[in-house]
Amino acid sequence: MGEPTTARSVGVASRLSLMIAELTEREEQEASNCPAAKRLTTHPAVGPLTALVLSETDYLDGIDLPLGVARPKE
């Protein structure tokens, strides 16, 4: 009785892993296309997802960005 459940769980885990890999690739592409997010990812512990979220919120209003780094467009 445990076999089908185990096989099903492995199948679900495998599909989830593929979905996570695809989403991770997409977020990395989006971050590389956004100058503010790209700059934020140069800081330790700031990955593409965090950088995208911060670049799309008012969080950056209190931060002086270096010359050449554009603020996100509204």
**Segment 24-65, tens digit of pLDDT:** 999 999 999 999 899 999 988 899 999 998 888 766 565 666
Task: Tell me which DSSP letter residue 42 carries.
Answer: T
66 or 29: which leads in pLDDT: 29
3 or 26: which leads in pLDDT: 26
Q: Which stretches does DSSP call E strand in the chain?
A: none
CA atoms within 13 A on the CB side of 41: 18
70 or 50: which leads in pLDDT: 50
Q: Which pLDDT score is estimated for 27?
A: 94
Domain residues of the chain, as ranges?
Answer: 2-62
Q: Indicate the residue type of 51.
A: A
69 or 32: which leads in pLDDT: 32
35 or 2: which leads in pLDDT: 35
